[in-house]
A and B are shown apart, each in its own frame.
Chain A
Amino acid sequence: MTQSDIDIVKKTAKLARLELGEAEAAKFGEQFGRILEAFQKLAKLDVSGVEPMTGATELSDVLRDDRAKPSLERERVLANGPKQDGEYYVVPKTVGGDA
């Protein structure tokens, strides 16, 4: 394991909104290094001229008719939120602080 593996893990964790402890970051850093090493063979393959395969079907631009229909009931959807006021989800203040 190198310090750079741990630094990569810490930087990536921030991007992924994960709050890793030091021990966890070190463990993931070590595993990350091994996983990426095992995946290096991808880099050695010649892929020039190959189109990326972005999905498993050839479907594109699938559209339905644009008409109004009932959607899920707000009350039932909100019921799964940890904090809500019956109309909206409630989150910590996002304006005015350093958030």
Chain B
Amino acid sequence: MSGFADYARLDATALREAIVSKRTTASQVVEAALARIAALDPELSAFSTVLADSARARAKELDAALARGEPAGALCGVPFALKSNMCVEGVEAHCGSKILAGYKPPYTAPFVQRLLDEGAILVGMTHMDEFAMGSSGENSGYAVAKNPWDTSRTPGGSSSGSCAAVAARMVPLSLGSDTGGSVRQPAALCGIVGFKPTYGRITRYGLVAFGSSLDQVSPFTRSARDMELVLSVISGADEHDSTCLPLPAIDPERSDSIRGLRIGVPKEYFASGLDADVRAKVEGAIAKLVELGAATVPIELPHTEYAIPTYYVVATAEASSNLARYDGIRYGPRTNGDGSLQSMIAATREAGFGPEVKRRILLGTYVLSSGYYDAWYVRALKVRRLIRHDFDEAFKSVDLIACPTSPTAAFRLGEKTDDPVAMYLSDVMTVPTSLAGLPAVSVPCGTVTLGGKQLPVGLQLIGPSLADARVLRAARVFEDATQHQREIYALAPSVREGAAR
């Protein structure tokens, strides 16, 4: 492969260091990224758009600025990718939907601008479940991303391409969005780090809305230290989003220890439905946390069993409202129908939305409709309060909660596409935190063997509201003390090449 030879072995922090110390250049790093994408993406389908020209031009600018002795940004020369539901001026953001085909935003999202301002280089947009609705990437209106560990399996969803791109080391950093687990679940299934901050830590301006009280921009990285770095860049107040908290950016903790931390282990997350091998890996990870000086405390989150129905009522209600804007007037292709306005709108939506999006719009419209509003929607909001209350009670006696991110390792593509209920259940470990608005990370904690292939398992660490930095510190300490990030990837041979760390 051309470009910087060590590219695929290094995380964002190390890549920046290599550029700043003149071991390589931003241009060489971008060439390596583009070469790797060209070699691997035909098999993995992570990218919907590759921005080779603008990436090369930006790298050149950065190299020139460095040569002039200008200060390097915190992410100087680091290539990154964005989920296709994020706005960059003039770059197609189709959201995985035919209804937004060709949509080129007239502005750049502030969370993207902050990355660019620190010298990060955008190399492409990634495939996703249509409007972020899905847990496998299979609801894309364009292409289905594959898991780099086993291409017959899902990388998880809905931020499928952003996750596969980092897992296959095509880029060291990408952004996804997490509404009910859409970053943490794929991170677990692909063996990388995925973090959903406390709701409100990152502006949603420029993130296409799905469930507005749940959506959070959430990064994927190779290492926990990268995650801390990225959050310190993109989090913090923004006047464009009235739900963005008026707080400064997340400040990573200096400590290298988790000694004395009290870690809650919720029995509900280790009940039936959890794969035995996944359970063993997660229990091993918790034992490691104890070895590192933490203490475990058994806790109860009694309303966990209500989280899936609560989530699918709240999220679909919000989605049905948010997606009302796709009417063939302001964006995307129009279908004329019989010539009337109403017919044009209905025909455009019928042609533009895929089955899962229609299903969710229907469900959301139903739970908000006259006669069902109190019985379904308001009731779900009350149960949401009870779920949040469970966490508030638990955090009176613990500092963090540890549990699996996903009940199973990556499942096969096609396995759950005809059964929406089974697909919804794959989010069982991530939606409670989303409903409660809490910060949670997934970090790799080993692999299991399925169908003769090794597949990663994720440990989920959940913190109380605004304890983002504590969650990330614990992830970093765990990562530093284990070899999971350094395990040689049992990937397809082309992916493995140069990927061993």
Contacts and interface: CB of A to CB of B under 8 A. Distances in A.
A73 interface: yes
B340 interface: yes
Contact of B382 (A35, A52, A99): A52
A15 B370 CA distance: 11
Contacts of A98: 340
Contacts of B329: 81-82, 89, 91
Contact of B107 (A19, A72, A82): A72
B309 interface: yes
Contacts of B358: 18, 20, 24, 28
What range describes how many residues of B lie at the interface?
35 or more
B420 A35 contact: yes
Contacts of A56: 199-200, 213-214, 243, 436-437
Contacts of A42: 306, 309-310, 313, 376, 379-380, 383
B87 to A, nearest CB: 11
Contacts of B355: 24
B350 interface: yes
A87 interface: no
Given A19-B347, A50-B386, A80 B420 contact: no
Given A47-B379, A56-B200, A16 B361 contact: yes
A43 to B, nearest CB: 7
B395 interface: no
A34 B425 CA distance: 13
Interface stretch (B13-21, B68-76, B285-293, B330-338): B330-338
Interface string A28-40: 1001101100110
Interface string B84-119: 000000000000000000111011000000000000
B50 interface: no
A81 B245 contact: no
A20 B350 contact: yes
Q: Interface of chain B, helix or strand or loop or mixed? A: helix
Contacts of A17: 324, 327, 342, 345-346, 349
Contacts of B324: 17
A62 B342 CA distance: 35
B225 interface: no
A53 interface: yes
Interface in B113-145: none
A13 B340 contact: no
B385 A52 contact: yes
A42 B376 CA distance: 8
Contacts of B381: 52-54
14 contacts: A16-B320, A16-B365, A17-B327, A18-B358, A28-B359, A39-B309, A42-B380, A43-B375, A50-B385, A56-B199, A59-B243, A62-B242, A80-B331, A91-B341
Given A42-B306, A72-B107, 18 more contacts: A16-B349, A19-B343, A19-B349, A42-B380, A43-B379, A50-B383, A50-B385, A50-B386, A51-B385, A52-B381, A53-B382, A53-B384, A55-B243, A56-B213, A76-B106, A80-B330, A91-B344, A92-B339
